[in-house]
Amino acid sequence: MSSDYQKGIMMDFNNATNNYLIQNPLTPQLVAVFTIIACLAVLGNGLVITVMLLRRRVFSSFTNRLILHQSAIDCVTGVVFFVWRVVLQIIQKPVFFEGNIIYAQLICRFITVDYFVWCMNVTSTYNLVIISLERFMATCHPVKHRNTWTSVKLKFAMGTAWAIGFMYGSHFAFLFEVNEGHCQPTELETSLKVFEISATITIEYLVPTTILIYTYSRIFMKLTKKSANPVHGARNTTNKAKKNVLVTTMLIGIMFVLCWTPIEVVYLYQQLSGDWSTPLYDIFTSLVACNMLVNPVIYCFKYEKFRSELRKLVLKRCRRNQVEDENTISMSAASSRMNTNLMQNGQSS
């Protein structure tokens, strides 16, 4: 978000003799919720990254590489989210306003407004869009997909997601400024304000949602048509793994819509009404953050290949521990027998 997420986090300046810049602290409940969300996001996505890197050959397709990239983005987002929404809010750093105007402006424009948090959120969103487009090409235009999708273009697509995220986030620097002892929204003309609201909702929500709905609807219709055709019966059986990947990515897209829709509605309501104290705000911002951690859960329950490889890694680790324990026991038994034999030989002599 641009203005909705940040207006609840104002940096107050003490109007006394020293004029210090101090952040308003979060409630303990929000600190706990944000910490849990960040930890689950890092641990869950870290698990996905570990499995896919250890089984690199198995997860070498374009879709799996994009899924790995998605987990890397969400893992970094979890760390950034924890630093910005918990650490920087708990550690209240006073800034001497009169002697550090530039520093105070930087804090207001980049720290208070969660600049990097929303850069990462939008980067994650558009990587989901790229995944849906890749699945659309592979399903609806397979020949063109084979001829056009290369490793170079895949890396370019990944870089595009990062570029969109940080280009979008750059506008935060112009939306807030230090004014009369507070970090306040910049006064914009009505036309610019309307443009900013429209651009925010369009880039954050409408464009990704439209692409996700269009691509997955087309894919669904394509697969339904193939299933209804008996000629493709054997092919449908062989494409079971591809359909499983599709179901997984579709669920990820659905979760994006469910996590982001409420906060976009609240944002529009706040902009139109000017009421920034709605009790639903903290709940819905937490829901947006939950979008970072739902993907690993989907992989574990719906993505058969990932679940299979995770099971193999766990069983391999368990067998290794069992073998090490057996070797330790056998060595202990052998040592005991040797000691017994030595004692018997000593007594006989």
**Per residue of the chain (349 residues), what is the pLDDT tens digit?**
444 444 444 434 333 333 333 444 578 888 899 999 999 999 999 999 999 999 999 999 999 999 999 999 999 999 999 998 888 877 755 444 455 677 777 877 787 777 898 899 999 999 999 999 999 999 899 999 988 889 999 999 999 999 999 999 888 888 877 776 667 777 778 888 888 889 989 999 999 999 999 999 998 888 877 765 655 554 555 467 677 888 888 899 899 999 999 988 888 887 777 666 677 777 788 888 898 889 898 988 888 889 889 999 988 888 776 655 555 555 555 555 555 554 555 555 4
Q: Which CATH number fits the domain that encloses residue 17? A: 1.20.1070.10
244: in domain: yes
Domain that holds residue 107: 11-302
234: in domain: yes
Residue 85 and residue 9: Cα distance in Å, rounded?
10
171: in domain: yes
At 92 the pLDDT is: 55
- Domains identified in the chain, total number: 1
Q: Which residue has the tokens 């550690």?
A: 91
**Helix 28-54 and helix 280-290, axial crossing angle in degrees, nearest 10:** 10
Contact call for residues 71 and 122 (beta carbons, < 8 A): no
Provide the residue type at 14 as one letter: N
Sheet containing 182-185, strands listed edge to edge, beginning at the edge strand earlier in sequence: 95-96, 20-23, 11-13, 182-185, 176-179
Residue 137 and residue 147: Cα distance in Å, rounded?
11
Contact call for residues 100 and 231 (beta carbons, < 8 A): no
The secondary structure of the chain in percent helix, strand, coil, rounded to multiples of 5, reads 80, 5, 15
The closest of 175, 1, 3, 19 to 97, measured between CA atoms, is: 19
Phi-psi region of 276 (alpha: psi -120 to 50; beta: other; left: phi over 0): alpha
321: in domain: no
Structure letter (DSSP) for residue 3: S
310: in domain: no
30: in domain: yes
